[in-house]
A and B are shown apart, each in its own frame.
Chain A
Amino acid sequence: SAVISQKPSRDICQRGTSLTIQCQVDSQVTMMFWYRQQPGQSLTLIATANQGSEATYESGFVIDKFPISRPNLTFSTLTVSNMSPEDSSIYLCSVNEDRADTEAFFGQGTRLTVV
């Protein structure tokens, strides 16, 4: 199993500012993922963070708004840029391996409120 530390656990931010969320894994993993969970909704994948290459974004998400870094196999950051109240959500990082018998693991989440 993988243990994921995500920081910060929560933050209240002013509109127009940016917040960087960090995700640290206790082992080397190939794939890391960033999700958003809007209030009362399920999880939506933002992007896949690839080590050594640019992140792969899902439809509706762009790099300028959600820049991602993946400097090594144990760490990734997601920045929420130029925030608006609509960005208020829980943001979660996840790791997964390319094996059917391996669970996906999630960080504790970052609860973001934009005022």
Chain B
Amino acid sequence: KQEVTQIPAALSVPEGENLVLNCSFTDSAIYNLQWFRQDPGKGLTSLLLIQSSQREQTSGRLNASLDKSSGRSTLYIAASQPGDSATYLCAVRPDRDDKIIFGKGTRLHILP
């Protein structure tokens, strides 16, 4: 059974720092992995999608990497800003499955 774990559960850093959020999954047979952002009480915004054949994806200050064989992904945020404060969710879609399995998220707080 696929399980997704995110570390740390919460993180507070001063504005301007670079930071890394970690995601691990137990079964390497995945279709893709997606990182989402969720603001309090709101829906999910897709940040980056990495297909199983890819190693990384970049969008602006965000870079996500995938090491499928070791069951790990990282989300790197460069030059963090207070507007980056949100919960970041990692989700994997297992092979031959329609469903997406979510981690519990990392609550990020960027201090002005």
Contacts and interface: CB of A to CB of B under 8 A. Distances in A.
Interface stretch (B14-22, B43-51, B65-73, B75-83): B43-51
Interface string A39-54: 0011101001000000
Contacts of A48: 98-99
Contact of A104 (B46, B51, B53, B103): B46
B103 to A, nearest CB: 6
B32 to A, nearest CB: 5
Contacts of A90: 41
A33 interface: yes
Contacts, number: 58
Interface in A67-115: 90, 92, 94, 96, 98, 100-109, 111
A6 interface: yes
Contact of B43 (A33, A41, A42, A107): A107
Q: How large is the interface on B (under 10, 10 to 19, 20 to 34, 35 or more residues)?
A: 20 to 34
Nearest to B100: A104
A100 B103 contact: no
A98 B32 CA distance: 11
A33 B99 contact: yes
A96 B100 contact: yes
Contact of A101 (B51, B98, B102, B103): B51
Contacts of A41: 104
Contacts of B91: 43, 104
Contact of B89 (A43, A94, A108, A109): A43
A13 interface: no
Interface string B27-40: 00001101010000
Rank and list the top 5 A-B pairs by shortest CB-CB distance, nearest first. A106-B44, A109-B43, A108-B43, A42-B104, A100-B51
